Structure 1
Amino acid sequence: MKAARVLVGTAGVALMGVGGYLLADVRDPIGVLVWLGGAVLLHDLVVAPAVLLAGLVLVRRRARGPVRGALLVAGALTAVALPVLLRPGRTANPSVLPLDYPRNWLIALAAVAAGTALWAAGRQVVHGRRRPDRSDRPDRSDRPDRPGR
């Protein structure tokens, strides 16, 4: 697990370096920084609280982690796709946005949902149908070697 974390962290730092390099060629760096700041605010003030609340209210305890993760990924995908989603229609130059971005966004969200469902099902199979909760444990006060609390 530690090797995977180091590998993912190294890849993340490398991608940050690529982003910094590409940011150096931008003609309007203030506009990009404002957009990035807006994305951070959108995530911290809207997406993250909504995800945590939805996970708390809608999902059982053991499935909360994968569902919250999927909702965060879906929120990040939506934040990245917002410029294209908010400006539907034809552009003056058809090569600028050559793909069907709303459809591809929905496909990406469906892939996240399917991956989350498979992950949760796999966890259920690996960990068994039901793990005993604290309420299912026998009362320790009737054991002679341990006094009750």
Structure 2
Amino acid sequence: MNALRVTTAAAGLALMGVGVSLLGDVRDPTGVLLWLGGAVVLHDALIAPLVLLVGLVVVRGGARGPVRGALLVAGALTAVALPVLLRPGRTANPSVLPLDYPRNWLIALAAVAVLTGVWFGGRRYLSD
């Protein structure tokens, strides 16, 4: 196993530990479990099949893997951002959701698209 994979796995495990430690502060664990279950269903029933289908239909050749990866990241970003994107208007307390979340979500999706294009272009450039 290479060092990058080990480092990434260690960082993921550390972040999962942080998440588990924060569960003690949750007042309604059933709501959290419902949200997590919904995220799993959303991923397995909608996001993953769509990513595979789009990767199969739209892209031919060597770009299929990077496009599928970018679509998976975009789907995960959307699943995480969905609660604030679908919120019904402004809250009474502006400090609860202080940022422009739809704009930031679009910026994150644009960054994924640009980085995928740069990665694919660099890969093609290096292979020539």
Runs of 4 or more, structure 1, over 2 Å off, are none
Measure the CA separation in 1 of the matches of 2:88 and 2:80.
15
Give, in whole Å, the separation in 1 of the partners of 2:24 and 2:120: 42
Q: Following TM superposition, by how much is the alpha carbon of 1:88 offset from its aligned partner in structure 2, in angstroms?
A: 4.8
1:78 counterpart residue number = 78
Separation in 2, partners of 1:24, 1:66: 38
The one of the two structures with greater contact order (alpha-carbon pairs below 8 A, sep at least 6) is 2
- Cα separation, 2, equivalents of 1:56 and 1:50: 10
Secondary structure at the counterpart of residue 90 of structure 1: coil
Give 1:123's aligned residue: 123
Q: Percent identity?
A: 75
Map 1:109-120 to 2 at 5 A: 109-120=109-120
Q: How many residues align?
A: 128
Give RMSD over aligned pairs: 1.0
| Residue 30 of structure 1 pairs with residue 30 of structure 2 | yes
Residue 64, structure 1, aligned to residue 73, structure 2: no
Q: Secondary structure in 1 aligned to 2:61? A: coil
The one-letter code sitting in structure 2 at the alignment partner of 1:95 is S
Distance 2:31 2:56 in 1: 36
SS at match of 1:63: helix
Give secondary structure in 2 for the equivalent of 1:62: helix
Hey, what's the Cα distance between the residues in 2 that align with 1:38 and 1:24?
A: 21
State the distance in 2 between where 1:74 and 1:120 align. Answer: 17
Q: Could you tell me how far 1:60 is from its partner in structure 2?
A: 1.5
Please name the residue that 1:90 is paired with. Answer: 90
- TM-score, with length taken from structure 2: 0.97
Task: Give the structure 2 partner of residue 16 of structure 1.
Answer: 16
Q: Which runs of 5+ in 1 are unaligned?
A: 129-149
What is the one-letter code of the residue matched to 2:8? V
Unpaired runs of 5+ in structure 2?
Answer: none
When normalised by structure 1's length, the TM-score is 0.83
1-structure distance, mates of 2:89, 2:102: 11
Q: Shift of the alpha carbon at 1:68?
A: 0.3
User: What one-letter code is carried by the residue in structure 2 that aligns with 1:93?
Assistant: N
Greater share of residues in helix: 2
The 10-residue stretch of structure 1 (86-95 or 60-69) with the greater mean CA deviation from structure 2: 86-95
Report SS of the residue matched to 2:18: helix
